[in-house]
């Protein structure tokens, strides 16, 4: 868990209009320590089981390289997508002779040293990575492809299974995600799933989830129908700009200019069952793929009834190279927020997906959610 630093200092007034009312430190916790406030855009300078069960959990879940091992936008099949993921979690450096030097022999989410950079960061997309410069990692590709195979003897499903480049059948959605739904329901948790993607797979994901949850279509999880989870088949959009953010879904539209930051927070907090939104890739690209243009996530540390958690493979502890923009409310009822750094909220409300573990460990997502729930509660109590 990241160290927040600082103490439970009261919120002080800033030039941009932070509410300067005295607030009990016990209600704030270290998470609410003020730094800067913003309306939109990006500005620098950020500084127990029963309780958990009584709290609603809203899980924002990315698709590609999080629960999907494929990508419709880049036309990557299962093998290419997993091969690409390995370029983002293998590390080295350019040595004094100007040549690439590996600094690790096994994949990891975090760099093994301060000088290490991922192969992807240094060289970009590299087709057939594990057949060329990354051949030392080929065993990880082969091992996890085998784990992802569709059950032998079970008929292919037009949407739940996917034919790989090698002709073999694979799961399209990693089974550990379905296991997460079962685990959370078994724990009697009140939760919802909000898919958040820049890609174009959302409609199919909603359709597949509806079949799995309402028709019992998944061969490994035929009893998902017992969970009684609804699926909103109408995908929404979230669009961002310098002056406002707009969320739209069917007949509903909520914006920061009309409804305030809290309006979008309340809308996402009230989602029932499963729903999905396509986020604004062009805005992220315009902001050089940094937190400034990332997928917005509203966090209200004063709200004891809801916790939001974001799960995405592109969450990284470098704000200049990450995909989520955490927007933390500064008081219980107002609309002022601050932008929090990724490292501040890592493993509290932000989970960087380890796709290899999501494939190999059936309870991977469940364990990551538990870690966030426990860390978040502990942090607020400090």
Of 138, 168, 198, the last residue of a domain is 168
Contacting residues for 123 by C-beta, under 8 A, at least 6 apart = 87, 100, 133
Q: How confident is the model at residue 21 (pLDDT cuts 50, 70, 90)?
A: very low
If asked whether residues 141 and 283 sit together in one domain, one would say no
Cβ count near 25 (within 10 Å): 15
Q: What pTM was estimated for this model as a whole?
A: 0.88
Question: From the CA atom positions of the chain, what is the Rg in Å?
Answer: 21
CA dist 172 and 206 (Å) reads: 13
| Extended beta strands in 79-186, E state | 91-94, 100-102, 117-118, 161-163, 169-171
Per-residue pLDDT tens over the stretch 175-217? 999 999 999 999 999 999 999 999 999 999 999 999 999 999 9
- In angstroms, rounded to a whole number, what is the distance separating the alpha carbons of residues 84 and 129? 7
State the average pLDDT over residues 280-296: 98
DSSP-assigned letter for residue 245:
E
pLDDT tens profile 224-274: 999 999 999 999 999 999 999 999 999 999 999 999 999 999 999 999 999
Does 93 map to a domain?
A: yes
Number of domains composing the chain: 2
Indicate the residue among 168, 193, 215 that finishes a domain: 168
**What letter would DSSP give residue 300?**
-
359 near 331, Cβ under 8 Å?
A: no
**Confidence check: pLDDT of 3 > 80:** no
Task: Note the pLDDT tens digit of each residue in 310-344.
Answer: 999 999 999 999 999 999 999 999 999 999 999 99
d(CA 41, CA 150): 44
Does residue 227 sit in the same domain as residue 121? no
Instruction: Please report, for residues 150, 309, 327, 329, the alpha-carbon distance to residue 153 in angstroms, rounded to integers and kept in the order given.
Output: 9, 37, 48, 52
Over residues 133-171, the pLDDT tens digits come to: 999 999 999 999 999 999 999 999 999 999 999 999 999
- Tell me: do 163 and 177 sit in the same domain: no
Let me know if residue 16 belongs to a domain. Answer: no
Domain match, 275 and 231 both: yes
Identify the H or E element spanning 337: strand 337-339
**Non-local CB neighbours of 270 within 8 Å, separated by 6+ positions:** none
3-state secondary structure of 203: helix
Q: Are residues 146 and 230 in the same domain?
A: no
Confidence of residue 47 (pLDDT cuts 50, 70, 90): very low
For residue 141, give its domain range.
Answer: 78-168
Residue 13 lies in a domain: no
Structure token digits, residue 110: 């975090």
Determine the pLDDT at residue 49: 54
The domain boundary residue, chosen from 168, 196, 224: 168
* pLDDT for res 324: 98
Question: Do 140 and 180 fall into the same domain?
Answer: no
Q: What six digits make up the tokens of 356? A: 């290899």
């Amino acid at each position: 868990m990241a160290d927040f630093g600082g103490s439970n200092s009261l919120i002080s007034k800033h030039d941009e209009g932070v509410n300067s009312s005295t607030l009990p430190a016990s209600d704030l916790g270290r998470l609410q320590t003020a730094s800067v406030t913003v309306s939109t855009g990006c500005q620098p300078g950020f500084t127990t089981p029963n309780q958990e069960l009584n709290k609603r959990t809203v899980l924002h879940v990315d698709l590609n390289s999080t629960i999907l091992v494929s990508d419709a936008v880049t036309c990557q099949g299962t093998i290419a997508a997993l091969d690409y993921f390995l370029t983002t979690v293998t590390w080295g450096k350019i040595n004094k002779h100007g040549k690439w030097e590996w600094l690790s022999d096994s994949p990891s989410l975090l760099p093994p040293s301060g000088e290490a950079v991922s192969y992807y960061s240094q060289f970009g997309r590299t087709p057939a990575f594990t057949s060329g410069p990354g051949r030392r990692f080929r065993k990880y590709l082969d091992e996890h492809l085998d784990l992802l195979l569709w059950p032998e003897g079970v008929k292919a499903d037009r949407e739940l299974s996917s034919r790989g480049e090698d002709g073999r059948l694979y799961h399209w959605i990693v089974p550990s995600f379905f296991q997460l739904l079962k685990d959370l329901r078994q724990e009697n948790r009140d939760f919802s799933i909000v898919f958040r993607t820049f890609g174009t797979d959302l409609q199919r994901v909603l359709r597949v989830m509806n079949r799995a949850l309402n028709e019992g279509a998944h061969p490994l999880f035929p009893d998902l129908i017992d969970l009684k989870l609804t699926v909103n088949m109408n995908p929404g959009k979230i669009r961002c700009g310098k002056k406002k953010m707009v969320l739209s879904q069917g007949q509903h539209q909520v914006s920061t200019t009309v409804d305030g930051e809290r309006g979008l927070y309340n809308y996402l907090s009230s989602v029932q069952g499963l729903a999905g939104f396509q986020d604004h890739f062009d805005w992220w690209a315009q902001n050089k793929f940094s937190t400034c243009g990332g997928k917005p996530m509203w966090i209200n540390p004063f709200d004891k009834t809801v916790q939001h958690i974001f799960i995405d493979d592109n969450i990284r502890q470098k704000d200049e190279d990450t995909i989520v923009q955490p927007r933390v409310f500064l008081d219980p009822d107002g609309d002022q927020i601050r932008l929090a750094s990724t490292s501040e909220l890592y493993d509290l409300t932000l989970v960087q997906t380890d796709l290899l573990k999501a494939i190999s460990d059936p309870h991977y997502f469940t364990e990551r959610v538990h870690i966030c729930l426990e860390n978040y509660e502990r942090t607020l109590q400090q």
